[in-house]
């Protein structure tokens, strides 16, 4: 074991402790540690010996390597945590900064394409799971963690526990989606795959839920089967719903404004919440 390796181990443990104290998620911790490891490989020494100029050189190196803005910003965030929190040296990061990320419109499937996608999903389980991702606007990790009791047919909502940001919330449940979920529930119950109070979308072992990776694979298989050649991701199903919802919300608001049902102040306030001031893209 080299001297530099021995020197970094206590720092790594302290950084892990600092992240644990702040209840950072496992993926965030992994990303932060990766950022420090990559910098250490570039620096060639223990990272606690780095200066502000060393961090500036590293960011310049990443830019010259055509590192994406997303990766670059994630790296800066991880390094900032290490130097400002773990080492208590905020001045070291004074020459580094986050970069602007171009905002691009997501690739969105049409209603006809989504219909073809769901029909090509194969099993009723995957049709229902992908239907929830689109119809309720849930993320893949949120879909696979749903239980049977999360479906509230009386209030027509879906309860999402500990979604992004560790927050609970409710998502809308349409009558068509409810019928699809009921069809899957009946089939899954008959096959003893859906257990009472268990996972709504179980894996091969009903005790465990379907993984987000399995759902993503099913999504891409359905894309191929439906012969949809757009470069769209599973997250794009959620984007399709939010884009459509925002569009129709704007149409309804604009109609009410023209009919005199809302005044200029109310119109501006809602538009600011939808898009932000002077950002009508």
Domains and CATH numbers, the chain: 3-93 (1.10.150.130), 111-235 (1.10.443.10), 243-275 (no CATH)
Report the pLDDT value the prediction gives residue 115, as an integer from 0 to 100: 85
Half-sphere exposure of 208 (CA within 13 A, CB side): 7
What are the tens digits of pLDDT across the range 51-63?
999 999 999 999 9
Strand (E) or helix (H) holding 159: strand 157-160
Confidence of residue 260 (pLDDT cuts 50, 70, 90): low
Report the pLDDT value the prediction gives residue 258, as an integer from 0 to 100: 54
Per-residue tokens: 179: 């019928």
Report the pLDDT value the prediction gives residue 93, as an integer from 0 to 100: 93
Q: Does pTM top 0.75 for this prediction? A: no
What are the tens digits of pLDDT across the range 169-183?
888 888 888 999 999
Report the pLDDT value the prediction gives residue 261, as an integer from 0 to 100: 56
What are the tens digits of pLDDT across the range 141-173?
999 999 999 999 888 888 998 777 778 888 888
Give the Cα separation of 264 and 271 in Å (integer). Answer: 10
CB neighbourhood size of 31 (10 A): 16
What are the tens digits of pLDDT across the range 61-113?
999 999 999 999 999 999 999 999 999 999 999 999 999 887 777 777 777 88
Contact assessment for residue 255 and residue 267, using Cβ atoms and an 8 Å cutoff: no
For the chain, give the longest Cα–Cα distance. Answer: 76
In the chain the first and final C-alpha atoms are separated, in Å, by 56
Say whether pLDDT at 257 is over 60: no
Contact assessment for residue 226 and residue 116, using Cβ atoms and an 8 Å cutoff: yes
What is the secondary structure of 167-202 as a DSSP string? --EEEE--HHHHHHHHHHHHHHHHTT-S-TTSBSSB
What are the tens digits of pLDDT across the range 125-143?
999 999 888 888 888 899 9
Per-residue tokens: 132: 């929830």
């Amino acid at each position: 074991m080299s001297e530099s390796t021995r020197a970094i181990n206590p720092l790594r443990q302290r950084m892990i402790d600092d992240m644990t104290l702040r209840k950072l998620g496992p993926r965030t911790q992994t990303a932060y540690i990766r950022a420090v490891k990559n910098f250490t490989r570039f620096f060639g020494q223990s990272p606690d010996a780095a200066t502000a100029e060393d961090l500036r050189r590293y960011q310049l190196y990443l830019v010259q390597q055509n590192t994406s803005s997303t990766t670059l910003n994630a790296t800066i965030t991880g390094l900032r945590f290490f130097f400002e929190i773990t080492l208590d040296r905020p001045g070291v990061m004074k020459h580094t900064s986050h970069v602007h990320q171009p905002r691009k419109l997501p690739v969105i499937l049409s209603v006809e394409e989504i219909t073809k996608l769901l029909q090509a999903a194969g099993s009723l389980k995957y049709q229902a799971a992908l239907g929830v991702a689109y119809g309720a606007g849930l993320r893949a990790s949120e879909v696979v963690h749903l239980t049977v009791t999360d479906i509230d047919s009386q209030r027509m909502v879906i309860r999402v526990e500990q979604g992004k940001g560790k927050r609970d919330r409710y998502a809308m449940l349409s009558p068509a989606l409810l019928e699809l979920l009921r069809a899957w529930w009946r089939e899954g119950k008959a096959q003893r795959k859906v257990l009472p109070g268990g996972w709504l979308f179980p894996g091969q072992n009903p005790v465990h839920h379907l993984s987000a990776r399995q759902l993503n694979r099913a999504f891409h298989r359905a894309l191929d089967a439906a012969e949809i050649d757009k470069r769209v991701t599973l997250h794009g199903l959620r984007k399709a719903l939010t884009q459509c919802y925002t569009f129709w919300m704007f149409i309804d608001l604009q109609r009410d404004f023209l009919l005199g049902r809302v005044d200029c102040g109310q119109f501006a306030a809602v538009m600011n919440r939808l898009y932000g001031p002077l950002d009508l893209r």
